[in-house]
């Protein structure tokens, strides 16, 4: 799948939210095919450096073989802006590494060489690639010539983009390769434009126009994807293909859904179409055209259930939807797409310190809640209850505690009361002992004073006044001692 790749900006202002997406029609198809488990290779030219690395990384994550992607220095990639307010897109491709390629840049014979007797190669290209410049157009033409010479089936999504040039220029580039192409995928606008160029009169039913155009070209089958959307944004998607003998259609069993993004549907449709085609080649079986169209329709609708150009639809989901809605209308509902929706990871946004603290606190509260059934959780709950009781003095807090906690508290309270009671008894006993000691000490003092008094009386017989004074003083002291 040779072709360019580009970065897509969803909004024109840095003030608003912006989605950065990797795109490029052939690249999108390669990613979608790889996501459903089929081998896919992408051939292109990218600049060295971080931008080229981003594109390579997206392909690698999807499982795309990028061995033949060339890297060049001091170049850029194409840019594609979706200006939603004006409902238009803006491209910047002229200075991309792909647009500046040299003639003969790729050795197509080596690149398209079969790797084994059972190796089936299918080449997919678009009308975007040759319109990116003269050298890309020449190399694109060479790729188709070599692939056809090797018997490789080729599909082309006509995919005319007005910003790259007029439809007439793309038609002139395509005409020489009509006999080499297996199928050309058209839009309603391209069908109308080519019919005018080739002089096909307008028809009431566009299906008749498609059949007449195919006969006029005399070569490839022509496929066309059709979408009808009502006022509630619900879309019916179906497709048709005319192979020169019969018009096949999936209109009676459309896929109904509400797109989350309008991008990527065409590339995913081509991926589903190619996948079914390769499956038939491997089985050497005839193609069931209606089932091939149904697979392509489902791939396109499922891709638009996510944001961005790249499909993330896995094989399992695709097969489940085919089985569930076989032969009938296929309404896509969220309950069937949960695996697809949950695989989308939201973009990380930097938060300030306050947000981080709030998140940390919330996570801690969540952890505490999760641990409520464990022993550790019980201890934390108990601490919280005690803290609430202390701060609020709320009697209801005690009711929230478990019976075992109440029993423990009661035991502790009884032990404390008993301890206090024993302490009081001990204190009272100590007080009585101290009182007895005081009385004994007081008695000793009285005896000593009496002895001293008798001694003084004997020594101071001649001094009656002093004796009386001593006696009075001794009496006072004795009285005071007894009072104490």
Q: Does residue 75 belong to any structural domain of this protein? A: yes
The pLDDT confidence band at residue 6, using thresholds 50, 70 and 90, is: low
pLDDT digit string (tens) for 126-144? Answer: 999 999 999 999 999 999 9
Q: Does residue 371 belong to any structural domain of this protein? A: yes
Structure tokens at 57: 């990384």
Q: Does residue 194 belong to any structural domain of this protein? A: yes
Region of residue 214 (left: phi > 0; alpha: psi -120 to 50; beta: else): alpha
SS3 16: coil
pLDDT digit string (tens) for 201-238? Answer: 999 999 999 999 999 998 899 999 999 888 888 999 99
Mean pLDDT, the chain, rounded, equals 78
Same domain (yes/no): 249, 202: yes
Q: Which of 287, 310, 341 is the endpoint of a domain?
A: 341
pLDDT of 84 > 90? The answer is no
DSSP label of 3: -
Mean pLDDT computed over 172-182? 97
Same domain (yes/no): 390, 257: no
Q: b/e map of 453-484 (b: 16 or more CB within 10 Å)?
A: beebeeeeeeeeeebeebeeebeeebeeeeee
Mean pLDDT computed over 413-442? 49
Give start and end residues of each alpha helix (H) in 91-197: 108-111, 134-149, 167-174, 188-197
Residue 120: predicted pLDDT? 79
Residue 324: predicted pLDDT? 96
Report which of residues 449 and 26 the model is more confident about.
26
pLDDT digit string (tens) for 268-303? Answer: 999 999 999 999 999 999 999 999 999 999 999 999
Same domain (yes/no): 194, 312: yes
Residue 463: predicted pLDDT? 42
pLDDT of 396 > 60? The answer is no
Q: Does residue 287 belong to any structural domain of this protein? A: yes
DSSP label of 329: -
Same domain (yes/no): 224, 368: no
Same domain (yes/no): 189, 310: yes
Q: Does residue 468 belong to any structural domain of this protein? A: no
Q: Whole-prediction pTM value? A: 0.69
Residue 102: predicted pLDDT? 95
Same domain (yes/no): 305, 364: no
Same domain (yes/no): 377, 259: no
Structural domain range at position 387:
353-403
Percentages helix, strand, coil for the chain, rounded to the nearest 5? 55, 15, 30
Mean pLDDT computed over 330-342? 85
The pLDDT confidence band at residue 384, using thresholds 50, 70 and 90, is: low
Choice among 34-43, 107-116, 240-249 with the minimum mean pLDDT: 107-116
Same domain (yes/no): 336, 365: no
pLDDT of 256 > 70? The answer is yes
Structure tokens at 79: 């840019």
pLDDT of 309 > 50? The answer is yes
Distance CA 154, CA 167 (A): 21
> Total structural domains in the chain?
2
Region of residue 322 (left: phi > 0; alpha: psi -120 to 50; beta: else): alpha
Residue 473: predicted pLDDT? 43
Percentage of residues in the chain with pLDDT exceeding 90? Answer: 52
Distance CA 39, CA 33 (A): 7
Residue 464: predicted pLDDT? 43
Q: Does residue 76 belong to any structural domain of this protein? A: yes
Residue 305: predicted pLDDT? 92
Choice among 36-45, 178-187, 291-300, 422-431 with the minimum mean pLDDT: 422-431
pLDDT of 400 > 90? The answer is no
Choice among 18-22, 174-178, 189-193, 448-452 with the minimum mean pLDDT: 448-452
Distance CA 23, CA 78 (A): 10
Residue 298: predicted pLDDT? 97
Give the domain CATH number at 115.
3.40.1190.20
pLDDT of 47 > 60? The answer is yes
The count of C-alpha atoms lying within 13 angstroms of the C-alpha of 108, restricted to the half-sphere facing its C-beta, is: 19
Same domain (yes/no): 311, 362: no
Q: Does residue 101 belong to any structural domain of this protein? A: yes
Percentage of residues in the chain with pLDDT exceeding 70? Answer: 65
Same domain (yes/no): 197, 267: yes
Residue 354: predicted pLDDT? 46
Residue 4: predicted pLDDT? 59
Same domain (yes/no): 312, 396: no
Residue 415: predicted pLDDT? 57
Same domain (yes/no): 323, 358: no
Q: Which of 317, 341, 365 is the endpoint of a domain?
A: 341
Residue 345: predicted pLDDT? 45
Structure tokens at 465: 């006044």
Q: Does residue 234 belong to any structural domain of this protein? A: yes
């Amino acid at each position: 799948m040779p072709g360019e790749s580009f970065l897509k900006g969803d909004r024109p202002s840095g003030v608003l939210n912006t989605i950065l997406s990797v795109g490029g029609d052939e690249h999108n198809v390669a990613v979608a095919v790889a996501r459903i488990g089929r081998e896919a290779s992408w051939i292109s030219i990218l600049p060295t450096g971080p931008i080229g690395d981003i594109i390579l990384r997206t392909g690698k994550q999807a499982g795309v073989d990028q061995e033949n992607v060339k890297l060049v220095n001091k170049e850029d990639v194409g840019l594609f802006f979706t200006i939603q307010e004006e409902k238009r897109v803006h491209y910047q491709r002229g200075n991309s590494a792909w647009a500046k390629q040299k003639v003969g840049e790729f050795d197509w014979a080596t690149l398209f060489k079969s790797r084994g007797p059972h190796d089936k190669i299918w080449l997919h290209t678009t009308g975007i690639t040759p319109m990116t410049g003269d050298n890309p157009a020449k190399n694109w033409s060479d790729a188709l010539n070599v692939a056809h010479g090797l018997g490789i089936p080729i599909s082309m999504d006509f995919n005319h983009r007005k910003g790259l040039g007029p439809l007439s220029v793309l038609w002139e580039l395509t005409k020489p390769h009509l006999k080499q192409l297996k199928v050309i995928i058209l839009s309603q606008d391209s069908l109308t434009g080519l019919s005018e160029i080739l002089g096909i009169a307008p028809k009431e039913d566009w299906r008749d126009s498609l059949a007449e155009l195919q006969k006029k070209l005399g070569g490839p089958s022509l496929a066309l994807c059709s979408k009808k959307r009502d006022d509630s944004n619900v879309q019916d998607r179906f497709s048709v293909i005319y192979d020169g003998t019969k018009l096949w259609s999936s209109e009676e069993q459309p896929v109904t859904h509400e797109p989350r993004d309008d991008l990527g549907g065409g590339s995913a449709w081509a991926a589903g179409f190619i996948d079914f085609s390769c499956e038939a080649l491997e089985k050497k079986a005839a193609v069931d055209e209606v089932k091939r169209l149904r697979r392509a329709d489902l791939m396109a609708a499922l891709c638009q259930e996510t944001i961005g150009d790249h499909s993330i639809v896995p094989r399992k989901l695709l097969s489940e939807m085919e089985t569930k809605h076989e032969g009938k209308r296929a309404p896509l509902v969220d309950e069937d797409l949960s695996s697809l929706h949950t695989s989308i990871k939201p973009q990380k946004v930097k938060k300030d310190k306050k947000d981080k603290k709030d998140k940390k606190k919330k996570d801690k509260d969540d952890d505490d809640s999760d641990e409520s059934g464990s022993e550790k959780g019980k201890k934390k709950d108990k601490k919280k209850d005690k803290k609430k009781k202390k701060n609020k003095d709320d009697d209801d807090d005690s009711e929230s505690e478990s019976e075992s906690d109440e029993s423990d508290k009661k035991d502790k309270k009884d032990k404390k009361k008993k301890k206090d009671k024993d302490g009081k008894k001990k204190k009272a006993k100590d007080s009585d002992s101290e009182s007895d000691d005081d009385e004994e000490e007081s008695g000793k003092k009285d005896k000593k004073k009496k002895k001293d008094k008798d001694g003084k009386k004997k020594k101071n017989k001649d001094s009656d006044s002093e004796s009386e004074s001593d006696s009075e003083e001794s009496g006072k002291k004795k009285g005071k001692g007894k009072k104490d």
